[in-house]
Amino acid sequence: MPLNVHIIGAGSYLPERVLTNHDIESMLDTTDEWIVARTGISQRHIVGKDQHTSDLAVWAARHALDDAGLKITDIDVILVATTTPDMIFPSTASIVQYKLGGEGFPTWDIQAVCSGFVYALAQMDGMMRAGMFRRALVIGAESMSRILDWNDRSTCVLFGDGAGAVVLEAREEEGGIIGSVIHSDGAHRHLLMAHHPHPGASPADDPLDFHVDSAGVAAVEMRGNEVFRMAVGKLGELVEEITGKHGIEQSEIDWLVPHQANFRIIQATAKKLKMPMDRVALTVSKHANTSAASVPLALDDLYREGKLKTGDLLLFEAFGAGFVWGANLVRWSRAC
């Protein structure tokens, strides 16, 4: 019997500190009205001093394991999608394994920026269908605040920190991850980038304090308008591609779980799918853009609100620097 890869648990974690648009008004020449009108973002969570990407990932993983009714010793592999690892090496996934009390099984990170979680699910689905692993922890985790220039109003208002995780299990029963499409085009790399390793990531700094003194050191640079146009175009093509590939009518999709970069980008994709906004997972207002963490955070939000029913068809999609973009179609296996 062929194997299918099911999501059997989900969880997430957000750092305690909340930075609202009004808080940023006191730091920079910006307004709550501008940020809300252009992006839909009202607030974001920010890591504290001594809090690393692996710490966020560990809490999200613990919640996902609890949800699945499993322990770390039941897991065969950990994959962490992140663009803000604790260090250049070792991988954040191996640090997460240690902090969770696991040992022996393989761990690695995947770097596909905002598309990291969608890429990770696609990769793990293929490996688990091939019989390499039975149970996996797949985590998206980011401390984006550590790579921002907090003096650059055009980028720092857009991002936040957090983590989301799922437990996957390969089973013979129908459902789970139906399929994925992933793409990349490095010709556009100059439109969105962070040049340097981020010095704020490893020292025990508060990211907000650190960047007041070190403006521009590790900063994200972006040509926002061009990124916006490309994201809307590619995400539109993507929904056609993945539904066509799997012979699914767009009207069959119950929930869109998009990368949370900008409300207007999400709205354009929902319009393309003719989906009402009340069938779209929306966390951009309270989380901002948490890069690889945004899809699993939005998924967990929907799940915790009790909105998902067993058998619902979900479309995850994301677009990020590179550019890299991708989508997964998932038949939800968990009960509410």
Total chain residues near ligand ACO (CB under 6 A): 23
For position 189 contacting ligand ACO by CB under 6 A, the verdict is: no
Residue length of the chain: 336
- Specify which residues 81 forms β-bridges with: 110, 140
Phi, psi of 211 (to 5 degrees): -80, -15
Letter string b/e over residues 181-220, b meaning 16 or more CB atoms within 10 A of that residue's CB: bbbbeeebeebbebeeebebbeeebbbbebbeebeebbbb
* Residue from the set 17, 62, 153, 272 that interacts with ligand ACO by CB under 6 A: 153
Q: How far is the CB of 113 from ligand ACO (least distance, A)?
A: 8
Q: Site for ligand ACO (CB under 6 A): which residue of 77, 157, 168, 315?
A: 157
Q: Among 3, 27, 38, 236, which residue sits at the site for ligand ACO (rule: CB under 6 A)?
A: 38
Q: Point out which span in 5-13, 31-39, 136-144, 304-312 binds ligand ACO (CB under 6 A).
A: 31-39
Residues 6+ apart with CB under 8 A from 153: 28, 29, 30
| Catalytic (active site) residue 336 | no
> How many whole angstroms separate alpha carbon 132 and alpha carbon 5?
12
Binder among 4, 12, 39, 53 for ligand ACO (CB under 6 A): 39
- Our CB check for ligand ACO shows the closer of 193 and 248 to be 193
Known catalytic membership, residue 211: no
Could you tell me which stretch among 166-174, 200-208, 219-227, 303-311 binds ligand ACO (CB under 6 A)? 219-227
Per annotation, catalytic residue among 114, 156, 198, 328? 114
Cross-strand bridge partners of residue 256? 280, 315
> Which listed residue (16, 89, 101, 225) binds ligand ACO by CB under 6 A?
225
Determine if 115 is a binding residue for ligand ACO (CB under 6 A): no
* Shortest distance, position 289 Cβ to ligand ACO, whole Å: 5
The string over 104-123, giving b where at least 16 C-beta atoms fall within 10 Å of a residue's C-beta and e elsewhere, is ebebebbebbbbbbbbbbbb
Where does this chain touch ligand ACO (CB under 6 A) — which range of 47-55, 126-134, 226-234, 274-282? 226-234
**114: alpha, beta or left? (left if phi > 0; alpha if psi -120 to 50):** alpha
CA 328/CA 198 separation, integer angstroms: 30
Note if 188 is an active site residue: no
Task: Give the C-alpha separation, 302 to 280, whole Å.
Answer: 9
Q: Cα(first)–Cα(last) distance of the chain, in Å? A: 28
Tell which one of 106, 228, 304, 313 touches ligand ACO (CB under 6 A): 228
Q: Which candidate in 4, 259, 262, 287 is catalytic?
A: 259
Task: For residue 7, give both structure tokens.
Answer: 């999501």
Residues contributing to the site for ligand ACO (CB under 6 A)? 30, 34-35, 38-39, 114, 153-154, 157-158, 192, 222, 224-225, 227-228, 231, 259, 261-262, 289, 319-320
> Known catalytic residues?
114, 259, 289
